[in-house]
Structure 1
């Protein structure tokens, strides 16, 4: 078997075929195809595991399209354009795009045959990786933005602009597209007897499989989360210190916790981590010959589904983690999403006012 052909497909699904003889010549493959000239019959609907994958991925598609569509409508059309709405609008667009193209993968699961051609084979994988990279990059930028707003509130109040945020979003999308180019290069359509497969073929470049897998793990997971942890450590330390100082001065007897505006962002980051970690783990184990192939197959299938589920969970977090959650039965769906998206702007303003109050206090002491 050609070990440079990735049969357990990144962000896609392999079929339960014996690929040991796949590297045979085209002539022998055509002969086999003639011998199996009958039309390919899917066995998905007779297998509980396959049906489960169909149901899970169909739910991801429906919830993702509807949820992110609502967020795009609210953040893009109903709310005032701010730095914070710019971040969340970009996240929603990224999630919406990957959910829109997901029916092709759902059809592939059900039919167990790729009938959509080479262009869509490459495009679906490319969009999925763009979503992965753009999501984590935006979470990093939002974390840095929050950190700057807390540590340097006066500077942030004067220099945080929608134009700058929009430029950062464009750069995030460009970098994401560049890092996703391998999906366009190595994704290919292969014919095996009566079945057509959309898979990654790394045979043209030696060791490219390992290099791409590790680069995605490093740049799409490890480094971004390290930066996010640093930012949140700084934010937590500064806000706890500010809270302690204000409490001692009896300035915030009835105010809410200064950490509360960060809970939506924290939920988004934790969700991304939980959803994408299993996928990266199985991708890195894919080249290990000691791992059972059936375990690898099912692990990648459900790891991929969990990774894609991240795209439909964000709108749910906006609703149920936003401000006024306790009043959710009295508030409309739209107002709750607006509250969740607007938390970041309130954090920036509260940090600025806190710093201003602190400066006023020091001045009055000198007087």
Structure 2
């Protein structure tokens, strides 16, 4: 499994008796017990939610806008990990990897890329909403679908580029019934290139969480303070404008924060307290458990679609049986279900109507 603990799981014994590391290896039993049922739940919920989302995007939406396009890319990112996890579950249940070197490289590449892509695309969605609410007259809000495609391509290039070198190296360890597909390994076994890749991964795991999280908090705080300052502070209006950022922040905190914290913990202990085996085991086990939450984002992302797009939400509600359909959906601060991509949302109309007596927001 592509996680820090695997670097210990694959720790071998020098001359079959002397551990290479200061602490004996943790073993793979805990990973094999905890992760299969958790990852299975992630896959089932993720497939159900994202198949429905894909169906709505492809067959139910009459028009698309930049926000819809960004959300569609998030669906693609989710399917990257959903097609990868069954192989990982199989390897955990068997106790070894049977799919060969090529599939191992692709499997690790897709799972690593999913985390980065999900974080990047959710951040783009939050920033897009921030400009719509706080800077409604900024030229960013005049983004065309073609420009949104270019933004999406740029995001994917930014996501994939650091992960491509992973495809160039063999990550298979052991042989026969002990074969494992792990990105991390003991430094005593690793080549210099692998050590560099491991270092890059550790840095990316932390940076790709901290910077987007700071941006999301900034967007949420600015949206809230802006609406209250414009005398739009009624609870229902603030809630509708904030729900996109709140939903994304919640997904971030639940899915990505535990992995980031435990990765930092294992990194610190290995570097500065290599003989503190008790702390090392604790953070290793927490890191294993956090993996189930890390991939839960694929199951929770459909909730982000519902909160961030009234077009998606109303298309979903209209597809349900009449007895289960949603009530009348008040105007959203993103887009209208019956409008084209150029139609203004309710929040934009409110902001525009206040322009004469409150002053326009700076471009």
Tell me the equivalent position of 2:152.
169
Q: Which has the larger radius of gyration?
A: 1
List per-residue Cα deviations over 1:198-232 (Å, max 9, x = no partner): 12256222752663244213431111112222222
- Conservation of the 8 A alpha-carbon contact between 2:81 and 2:110: yes
Within the candidate set 315, 331, 334, 1:344 is matched to 334
Partners in 2 of 1:114 and 1:75 — Cα distance? 36
Tell me the equivalent position of 1:235.
223
Indicate the larger mover: 233-242 or 166-175: 233-242
Partners in 1 of 2:304 and 2:217 — Cα distance? 20
Tell me the equivalent position of 1:198.
181
Correspondence 1:135 to 2:118: yes
How far 1:10 moved relative to its partner? 2.1
Partners in 1 of 2:134 and 2:344 — Cα distance? 10
4+ aligned runs moved over 4 Å, structure 1 = 11-18, 316-323, 330-336, 360-363
Partners in 2 of 1:109 and 1:204 — Cα distance? 26
- Conservation of the 8 A alpha-carbon contact between 1:53 and 1:302: yes
Indicate the larger mover: 314-323 or 274-283: 314-323
Tell me the equivalent position of 2:13.
20
Tell me the equivalent position of 1:99.
82
Matched residue pairs, number? 322
Partners in 2 of 1:218 and 1:57 — Cα distance? 23
How far 1:84 moved relative to its partner? 1.8
Within the candidate set 40, 43, 55, 1:61 is matched to 43
**Judging changes above 3 Å, is the alpha-carbon distance between structure 1 residues 161 and 222 closer, same or farther for their aligned structure 2 residues?**
same
**Judging changes above 3 Å, is the alpha-carbon distance between structure 1 residues 16 and 224 closer, same or farther for their aligned structure 2 residues?**
closer
Classify the secondary structure of the residue corresponding to 1:153: coil
Classify the secondary structure of the residue corresponding to 2:353: helix
Tell me the equivalent position of 1:32.
none
Where structure 2 has 5 or more consecutive residues not aligned to the other structure, the ranges are 18-26, 337-342
Correspondence 1:269 to 2:249: yes
List per-residue Cα deviations over 1:6-44 (Å, max 9, x = no partner): xx74289689677223899xxxxxxxxxxxxxxxxxx99
**Judging changes above 3 Å, is the alpha-carbon distance between structure 1 residues 76 and 343 closer, same or farther for their aligned structure 2 residues?**
farther
Partners in 2 of 1:196 and 1:158 — Cα distance? 52
Where structure 1 has 5 or more consecutive residues not aligned to the other structure, the ranges are 1-7, 25-42
Tell me the equivalent position of 1:77.
59
Partners in 1 of 2:228 and 2:353 — Cα distance? 16
Partners in 2 of 1:256 and 1:130 — Cα distance? 37
Q: How does the TM-score come out when normalised to structure 1?
A: 0.74
How far 1:158 moved relative to its partner? 6.2
Classify the secondary structure of the residue corresponding to 1:10: coil
**Judging changes above 3 Å, is the alpha-carbon distance between structure 1 residues 11 and 90 closer, same or farther for their aligned structure 2 residues?**
farther
How far 1:109 moved relative to its partner? 0.9
Map of 1:1-367 to 2, 5 A cutoff?
A: 9-10=2-3, 19-21=12-14, 50-79=32-61, 80-155=63-138, 159-185=142-168, 188-191=171-174, 194-200=177-183, 201=185, 203-205=190-192, 208=196, 211-242=199-230, 244=231, 256-287=236-267, 288=269, 289=274, 290-292=276-278, 294-316=281-303, 318=305, 333=320, 344-345=334-335, 349-361=345-357
Partners in 2 of 1:107 and 1:258 — Cα distance? 46
Q: CA RMSD in A?
A: 3.8
